[in-house]
């Protein structure tokens, strides 16, 4: 997985950078709804770019020959896995930070349920409202069972018109399942923690998310309602905070000023700009699709490892001076990693299987559009130069001698 993520960074960086530029410069002409919808370009572009990996199978059934020198090793185990371990540590750290930030927004005291009759808007079935003196503004918490939490002084802090508009904003988050979307986005950010553009993209995405809700709420609203909504935003901005949190918080301060600016520039939104953006997005996806290399032909089936890790001779076999061979079948992914390893034949049976599978899993091949399937290799375990010549367990497979 780590290898696939690294190979996608060039595309991810380009798409996210374009979306950040739109959020900062041209979103006023596209409107909140379309600017938010454009973030779907990220998963769509990644799927299109990875299409050959998942659907093109290369030359199934071809047996590749591997000419690998025993005396020269391409890499040590530590060199191969160190970056993977570093990536995993970073991903888990970012995920943990998000989890802690989300839990910090939870409440020390018990929430006080609010009767639906006490609210100006009708809540959908399954969404319950609560009061809490630990929040400065409305927030939607939870993923599978969201809760609408309002400040205790909600009725005095905002007039009735403002209350209705604010609650409609939170209901928009609920209907679009934005908290679930935020979970997926944080997972993606955790996987790309090393890319600074991804972090900038996360901030721009959350802005677009809030502005899209604003656009939904204020659609066909009067000037007076827009003014009241702006006052509510300003009232909330003073005590707002921003964290790496999945909850939808109406009072994220760093987003407030952008939202207020969008309220003032709502008249700049126009259809031609939206049409141009739609065409540009279509061209981007089309370019990614055509840029993907063609699946390899049967003549290109033979591939060679760029990084080869030799198995460790089993201690028990070494003590008993046991020689043997293992034939392995495997698939090569588009990023060059090895998957779906299985033992075809081993002599003696079961003695060298585990170490052979473990070593082959760490091999690295040259990246290709579709990878390759049904590849074979034979590993011969010999104690020394005087050991009997290993038997060829499968014809036309280049054997790799692994000495003690």
Q: pLDDT digits over 307-348, tens only? A: 888 888 888 888 888 888 888 899 888 888 898 999 988 888
Q: pLDDT digits over 294-306, tens only? A: 554 444 445 668 8
CA distance 281 to 6: 23
Mean pLDDT of the chain: 79
Give the domains, in start order, of the chain with CATH numbers: 298-403 (3.30.2420.10)
Mean pLDDT calculated for residue range 124-144:
85
What's residue 59's pLDDT? Answer: 43
Query: Helix crossing, 271-291 with 41-49: angle to 10°?
Result: 20
What's residue 233's pLDDT? Answer: 80
Mean pLDDT calculated for residue range 29-47:
90
Q: pLDDT digits over 230-287, tens only? A: 888 877 765 555 567 777 766 565 666 677 777 777 777 788 888 998 998 888 888 8
What's residue 240's pLDDT? Answer: 52
| pTM of the entire predicted model | 0.67
Burial class (CB in 10 A: 0-12, 13-18, 19+), 389: exposed
Q: What percent of the chain has pLDDT over 90?
A: 18
Give the Å distances, CA to CA, from 210 to 5, 165, 170, 253, 312: 28, 13, 10, 12, 55
Residue 78 has pLDDT above 70, yes or no: no
Q: pLDDT digits over 169-216, tens only? A: 999 999 999 999 999 999 999 999 999 999 999 989 988 898 888 888
CA distance 51 to 5: 14
H/E segment holding residue 344:
strand 338-347
Mean pLDDT calculated for residue range 141-169:
87
Phi, psi of 380 (to 5 degrees): -105, 125
């Amino acid at each position: 997985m780590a290898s696939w993520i690294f190979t996608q960074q060039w595309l991810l960086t380009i798409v996210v950078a374009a979306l950040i530029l739109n959020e900062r410069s041209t979103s006023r002409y596209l409107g909140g709804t379309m600017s938010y919808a454009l973030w779907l370009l990220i998963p769509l572009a990644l799927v299109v770019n990875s299409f050959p990996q998942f659907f093109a199978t290369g030359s199934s059934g071809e047996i590749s020959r591997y000419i690998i020198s025993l005396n020269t090793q391409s890499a040590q185990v530590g060199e191969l896995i160190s970056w993977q371990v570093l990536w995993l540590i970073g991903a888990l750290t970012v995920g943990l930070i998000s989890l802690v930030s989300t839990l910090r927004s939870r409440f020390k005291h018990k929430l006080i349920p609010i009767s639906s009759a006490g609210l100006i808007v009708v809540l959908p079935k399954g969404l319950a409202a609560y009061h809490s003196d630990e929040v400065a503004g409305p927030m939607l918490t939870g993923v599978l069972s969201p809760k609408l939490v309002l400040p205790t002084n909600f009725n005095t802090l905002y007039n009735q018109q403002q209350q209705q508009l604010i609650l409609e904003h939170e209901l928009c988050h609920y209907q679009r399942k934005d908290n679930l979307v935020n979970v997926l986005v944080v997972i993606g950010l955790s996987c790309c923690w090393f890319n600074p553009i991804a972090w900038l993209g996360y901030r721009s995405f959350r802005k677009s998310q809030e502005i899209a809700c604003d656009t939904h709420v204020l659609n066909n609203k009067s000037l007076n309602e827009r003014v009241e909504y702006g006052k509510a935003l300003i009232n909330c901005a003073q005590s707002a905070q921003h964290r790496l949190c999945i909850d939808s918080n109406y009072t994220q301060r760093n987003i407030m000023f952008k939202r207020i600016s969008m309220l003032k520039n709502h008249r700049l939104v126009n259809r031609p700009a939206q049409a141009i953006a739609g065409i540009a997005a279509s061209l981007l996806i089309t370019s990614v699709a055509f840029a993907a290399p063609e699946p390899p032909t049967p003549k290109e089936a033979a591939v060679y490892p760029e990084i080869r890790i030799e198995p460790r001779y089993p201690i028990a076999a070494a003590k008993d001076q046991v020689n043997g061979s293992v034939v392995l079948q495997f698939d090569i992914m588009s990023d060059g990693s090895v998957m779906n390893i299985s033992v075809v034949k081993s002599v003696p049976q079961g003695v060298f299987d585990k170490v052979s599978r473990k070593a082959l899993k760490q091999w690295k091949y040259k990246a290709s559009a579709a990878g390759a399937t049904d590849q074979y290799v034979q590993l011969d375990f010999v104690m020394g130069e005087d050991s009997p010549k290993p038997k060829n367990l499968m014809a036309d497979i280049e054997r790799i001698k692994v000495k003690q």
